Chains A and B, each alone.
Chain A
Amino acid sequence: MESTQHTESKIIELKPFADEMVVNMGPQHPSTHGVLRLELRLDGEVVREAIPHIGYLHRCFEKHSENLSYPQIIPFTDRMDYVAAMNQNWGFCLAVEKLMAADESKAFEVPERAEYLRVLICELNRIASHLLSFGTYGMDIGAFTPFLYAFRDRERLLLLFEKVCGARLTYNYVRIGGVSEIIPIEPGSIAEQNYLDEIEAFLDYFEPMIDEYNELLTKNSIFAERTMRVAVMSADMALSYGATGPNLRGSGVDWDLRRDEPYSIYDRFDFDVPVAVDVPELGAVVGDCWSRYKVRMDEMKQSVRIVRQILAEGLPGGPVMADLKAVRPPKGEIYFRSEAPRGELGFYIVSDGTPKPVRLKGRSPCFSALSALQELSRGLMVADIIAIIGSIDIVMGEVDR
């Protein structure tokens, strides 16, 4: 009898057991990070099953792109992961550049100055993205103050971005063949020096703040109790679900595209890849919510290191855009992946030699990570669901595209 009931309730989605309550969490819920909808089957406070329903922010990005020329697609990538839009721009541009490099006659070099600017801005964007993740995670767990601390610091970064591209959220800064010249910063000018000084001032302020945030939230015993040993994602599980980025490193897999498949000029910089380890003094195990969160906190320090190296070297002179007549990639296809703040961002492009792609597919790191939610959340409590969603750090704009 039990088994037939079970299969029945599987088929008819909304028929619960007598002792179960089906609750809709989202799409309008304070902490589903946008418009994620979860169908929770609750036994009291215990979650029997959490089924994610996505698509509330679907904007036909891929289909839409087929009717746009390559440079026109870049602003649409801004809207994917709007928290780390610089990295999305860059990921797409890298894919198109690689596609164009297939044809000798169309190959071009991205200028040195543009490469440095890209790394500089995208690493700052990574800090901004992780700051938002840190702040909202604190709020998910119930501490409101870290959120405002994080936004205070993120604000300074947004002002820096505004100075190079004029926008605070959707930048359209990285272009195919270089970076945007809309607000030019002349090489060697006072404006450039001022800008770099401003970044340095931010880093000097921000680096000690990471330790302070660790003191305030990371090591807070209530926070630790809420996140440690909760929703442990083993390395095998992380790999099988295709989790990438901090989620993968939080499960103890040492993999970072910036180091292992270096693109752009990442091979010139010296940085570590933070990977979660067991912390028996505190009680954290590899793969729990706390580890995923801690990897992000450590990554911010590494981004600061990279930016400091650029500041020490100084920006090279020269143009910021390659001499590029038209973006008309040769016939062929390409898949290129880069390390965005939320993991491996891949773009698969099929070109028929026209200025518009025939097919464009985005590989979203959040989508893969979110797919693990159902398995992770089984048997936990309602409050843990929130902790998991925060720790895998999804942005619905990227999941739905």
Chain B
Amino acid sequence: MSDFRAMFVGFPDFNISEGVFPNINLQDKLNWAEEFIQNVLIPRLPEAVAAHFPVELGTVLVMFAVAGIFVAVVPLLPLVLVLAERKVAARFQNRTGPMRVGPWGTLQTLADGIKLIFKEDFIPPQGDKLLFLLAPYIIFACSFAVFAAIPFGDGIPIPGDFNIGIFYIMAISSVIVMGVIMAGWSSNSKWSLLGSLRSAAQIVSYEIPLGLSILTVVMLVQSLSMTDIVSSQSNGIFSWLIFRTPFTFIAFFIFFISAIAEVNRTPFDLPEAESEIVAGFHTEYSGMRFALFFIAEYANMFAVSAIAVTLFLGGWEGVLPGYDILGGFPGFVIKTLALVFLMMWLRWTLPRLRVDQLMNLCWKYFIPIAFFNILGTGIWGLIFPEDTLVSIIISCAIIYIGLIVAYTIAGRTLAQKPEPQPS
């Protein structure tokens, strides 16, 4: 174990814990595998083996095993989500969706996957072969690595339960853009290049409001650890961070919309806008490599929804303190799938923005609002250092009044739009 930990010896110990930021320390929670061996495995082994059990080697093996479980289980998620997307889209569009393969078409994605595996693996002869082959794996690996730090439920081990969990997620998900640019560049196709450059601009821009809205949460919880963020929301629905202050309420929406932009879905699906640049960065990909992009896209969608649930909607904590309503692993999945459904709903309802409008929205609206949120959260933290009944009542009242005002203004603007009657 000591060898493993030696990797982090040189890691700087950020000691700014006097401020709003917690002490960043990777060594704290990396011993879950060791704990598992000491407390669960060794007591169950015969004594002769237990005495000589190589704990260090075992730790590494346990980590590999957990990683294996993730790699095996998480790809099943897109399998379900792709089918769900097709069924949801079909319902929105007066269709039935896939119905032929399996009962109600439930095995359709499996059939598609098998088809994709058998397809020709085309590599553009003029392109950059190495980058072309590498790109899907970078995107695939990064979008799956995000799952390592997501707290799925009480008692479910988190492989990457660092005390900088959300920071790790931000970092690892930013690497995806590199894969996108590599895919676009190496395809030797102008449409791919356009798509990848659009994607780079978009993801880099939207990461700023995304990070800034995460910051409001981190300021309130005083921790970057996903476990801490969840456990700080354990007192029922009004302790969920979305209702804790009016500013986190706004931050949630900024986070969610930016997350949609991060995962390239309508109305922000410019990098793969079918009607404009064919298929964007993955135009030239076929077969299993294309499937990797596809799986990564849906895994991403689930991941950002899960992060939104963890940060703002209580994670796996329930609606009422002490009762297990919408709590635990099932509650977490239900909340996440609700957000995923919202994303699908938006996708099949809205048209696509243009690239300059996309940038306007980010830089002129989201980033200023996100900075305002940080300021507001800081002031809120000074006024209410502890969460009290009063602070929660005031917060919910402000949110309620704000919603009514927004609704009235929106209603009035809509009412002012008469049916234009050209004659």
B267 touches A142 (CB 8 A): yes
Residues from chain B with a CB closer than 8 A to the CB of A145 are: 92-93, 348-349
**Cβ proximity bits A274-301 to B, threshold 8 Å, 1 near / 0 not:** 1111010110100000010011001000
A-B Cβ contacts below 8 A, count: 106
Residues from chain A with a CB closer than 8 A to the CB of B190 are: 21, 23
Using A222-B351, A226-B351, A383-B355 as known contacts, say yes or no to A274 and B423 having CB atoms under 8 A apart.
Answer: yes
Using A225-B353, A226-B353, A384-B354 as known contacts, say yes or no to A139 and B94 having CB atoms under 8 A apart.
Answer: no
**Cβ proximity bits A3-35 to B, threshold 8 Å, 1 near / 0 not:** 000000000000000000101000001110000
In the bound complex, CA of A381 to CA of B357 (Å)? 11
A382 touches B351 (CB 8 A): no
B423 touches A222 (CB 8 A): no
Residues from chain B with a CB closer than 8 A to the CB of A272 are: 423
Q: Is A335 an interface residue (CB 8 A)?
A: no
> Shortest Cβ distance from A246 into chain B, in angstroms?
11
In the bound complex, CA of A217 to CA of B349 (Å)? 9
Residues from chain B with a CB closer than 8 A to the CB of A222 are: 267, 350-353
Using A142-B266, A272-B423 as known contacts, say yes or no to A383 and B418 having CB atoms under 8 A apart.
Answer: no
**Cβ proximity bits B346-389 to A, threshold 8 Å, 1 near / 0 not:** 00111111111100000000000000000000000000000000
B275 touches A382 (CB 8 A): no
B422 touches A294 (CB 8 A): yes
Residues from chain A with a CB closer than 8 A to the CB of B317 are: none
Using A226-B354, A281-B416, A282-B417 as known contacts, say yes or no to A298 and B267 having CB atoms under 8 A apart.
Answer: no
Tell me the nearest residue of chain B to A141, going by C-beta: B351
Interface residues of B in 369-423 (CB under 8 A from A): 416-420, 422-423
Q: Is A144 an interface residue (CB 8 A)?
A: yes
> Shortest Cβ distance from A396 into chain B, in angstroms?
16
Best-buried of B349, B357, B420 by chain A (most CB within 10 Å)? B420
B351 touches A381 (CB 8 A): no
A386 touches B191 (CB 8 A): no
Contact of B276 among A143, A149, A219, A382 (CB under 8 A): A382
How many chain A residues sit at the interface, stated as a range, is: 35 or more
Interface residue SS majority, chain B: loop
A295 touches B422 (CB 8 A): yes
Interface set of B (CB-CB < 8 Å, partner A): 89, 92-95, 190-191, 194, 197-198, 266-267, 269-270, 273-278, 348-357, 416-420, 422-423
> Shortest Cβ distance from B298 into chain A, in angstroms?
17
Interface set of A (CB-CB < 8 Å, partner B): 21, 23, 29-31, 42, 44-45, 138-145, 148-149, 152, 211, 214, 217, 219-220, 222-223, 225-226, 272, 274-277, 279, 281-282, 284, 291, 294-295, 298, 381-384, 386
Residues from chain A with a CB closer than 8 A to the CB of B194 are: 23, 42, 45, 382
Tell me the nearest residue of chain A to B353, going by C-beta: A222
In the bound complex, CA of A274 to CA of B419 (Å)? 14
A30 touches B417 (CB 8 A): no
Using A149-B94, A152-B94, A275-B423 as known contacts, say yes or no to A23 and B351 having CB atoms under 8 A apart.
Answer: no
Contact of B420 among A140, A211, A281, A386 (CB under 8 A): A281
Mind listing 11 A-B residue pairs with CB under 8 Å?
A23-B191, A44-B197, A140-B275, A143-B350, A143-B351, A145-B93, A148-B95, A226-B352, A226-B353, A295-B422, A386-B275
Using A272-B423, A275-B422, A383-B355 as known contacts, say yes or no to A281 and B350 having CB atoms under 8 A apart.
Answer: no
Residues from chain B with a CB closer than 8 A to the CB of A223 are: 351
Question: Given A148-B94, A282-B417, A382-B277, 16 other A-B contacts at CB below 8 A?
Answer: A23-B194, A31-B276, A140-B275, A141-B352, A143-B266, A144-B93, A222-B267, A226-B353, A275-B422, A276-B422, A282-B420, A294-B422, A295-B422, A382-B194, A382-B276, A383-B273
Contact of B274 among A21, A30, A45 (CB under 8 A): A30
Tell me the nearest residue of chain B to A136, going by C-beta: B275
Best-buried of A139, A275, A279, A384 by chain B (most CB within 10 Å)? A279
> Shortest Cβ distance from A131 into chain B, in angstroms?
14
Residues from chain A with a CB closer than 8 A to the CB of B423 are: 272, 274-275, 277
Residues from chain B with a CB closer than 8 A to the CB of A282 are: 417, 420
B191 touches A381 (CB 8 A): no
